[in-house]
Amino acid sequence: MHNHIMPTYASLPVRFIKGEGAWLWDDKGDKYLDALSGIAVCGLGHAHPEVAAAISEQANTLMHTSNLYFIDKQEKLANKLCELTGMNDVFFGNSGAEANEAAIKIARRFAHSKNISNPVIVTMNNSFHGRTLATLTATGNPKVKEGFAPLPSGFCHIPYNDIQALEGLAEQQTDIVAVLVEPIQGESGINIPATDYLNKLRELCNKNDWLLMLDEIQTGIGRTGTFLASQQNNIKADVVTLAKALGNGVPIGACLTHGKATGLLTAGTHGSTFGGNPLACAAALTVIDILERDQLSNRATQLGEKMRVAFEQALKNCGHVVEIRQKGLMIGIELSTLCVELVSKALEQNLLINVAGGNTVRLLPPLTISDDEADKIITTVSDLIIAHSPIISVQ
């Protein structure tokens, strides 16, 4: 049945057919606890009844008209996003990569407005920005680029969390126009930079008239304890990209601009057939309503902290645990060895986890999980990590 799927994914041999909250059921009736939320997408858990009702109502009313006409819910969603973030304008697409494509096009337009004809966008080593040609070029991981040359020009990579590297680059490279960066690197293993890193980037961007473009596709929508992770630094970016949890599973991406990044994409310069259609916007509006009403960002802060402390306690005698990194409900446990097999070992125990960067257990549970569910994740993951000890396994 699976053999007509283009083999771009190394999927695990399990088919989920139903979900509720933090739980998924497979086609054999077995139940799994989801500590990954479909890669930070289902922040409100699976089959959230209010999101389902909003989608159903919208589907029964109007799904799509195209952007040839005003779309009421799109305007409402843009207003809400700008109210929550202090940004000015929003472009809607259908994915994270598309949100970042819009950001890249904005940086190019910004460059041309300043008569820079060969602009450079600085991105970070070990970053992830998507799989389209431009976003995989921006991505700081050579593996995603293999075999796809020729790649678009105009990107330059430096180490993450290294302000001096950027200052050094700025001395040699006068055509920089923007810095595209994740507040926390998710795909490469929950890498959390120095607390003032984003502030220093903001200062450097101000000083040099570069756009600060934050990829909050994974960190956004409350996951790290505030609507945007960058709000914990009290800074405003020129461009912010969102996707993943914005629709709780309905595909939607957004590129938000502020100040000098605003107004650069004008009629005819960019577009998307589906982007911001009534269905996707109805879902996202409901997601945000619930996020606010149930104060899920605060919940992420409190539960995330509690989970980190519990992991520290449970793993304190584990010599092979290098570091536990956590902000809100983005949790990474780095081991001294590769540990990709923990994903299938966890699956055998009916728990969904992920390993990022080869050696970091990554947990992105729904923001709605209960204390008991969190305890179950802590116990199962800790036991798996303890059993993975290189010392135990050679006995």
Ligand X SMILES: *Cc1c(COP(=O)(O)O)cnc(C)c1O
- Smallest distance, ligand X to C-beta of residue 328, A: 15
At 351, list the tokens: 């728990």
Nearer to ligand X, 28 or 143 (CB): 143
Return the closest-CA partner of residue 219 out of 194, 239, 190.
Answer: 190
CB of 350 to ligand X, least distance (A): 25
Contact indicator for 325, 334 with CB cutoff of 8 Å: yes
Q: In whole angstroms, how close is the CB of 312 to ligand X at the nearest point?
A: 26
Say whether 244 is catalytic. yes
* Residues 6 or more apart whose Cβ sits within 8 Å of residue 297: 222, 225, 226, 227, 291, 328, 367
92, 110, 155, 215: the active-site residue: 215
Q: Which positions lie near ligand X, rule CB under 6 A?
A: 95-97, 100, 128-130, 182, 186-187, 215, 217-218, 243-244
Q: Which CB atom, from 190 or from 385, has the smaller least distance to ligand X?
A: 190
Nearer to ligand X, 215 or 238 (CB): 215
Q: Based on CB atoms, which residue is closest to ligand X, 40 or 291?
A: 40
Candidates 34, 92, 244, 327; catalytic one: 244
Distance in Å, CB of 93 to ligand X, minimum: 9
Shortest approach of ligand X to residue 240 CB, angstroms? 12
Residue nearest to ligand X (CB): 96
Question: Among residues 346, 376, 274, 332, which one has the least CA distance to residue 40?
Answer: 332
- Whether residue 215 lies in the annotated active site: yes
Question: Distances in Å between the alpha carbon of 32 and those of 23, 37, 380?
Answer: 6, 12, 12
d(CA 224, CA 289): 18
Annotation marks residue 227 as catalytic: no
CB of 219 or CB of 380, closer to ligand X: 219
Among 110, 128, 155, 311, the active-site one is 128
- Cβ nearer to ligand X, comparing 185 with 382: 185
Q: Which is nearer to ligand X, 96 or 304 (CB)?
A: 96
Whole-number minimum distance, CB 180 to ligand X, in Å? 10
Q: Closest distance between ligand X and the C-beta of residue 394, in Å?
A: 36
Q: How far apart are CA 148 and CA 51, in angstroms?
A: 38
Which sequence positions are flagged as catalytic?
128, 215, 244
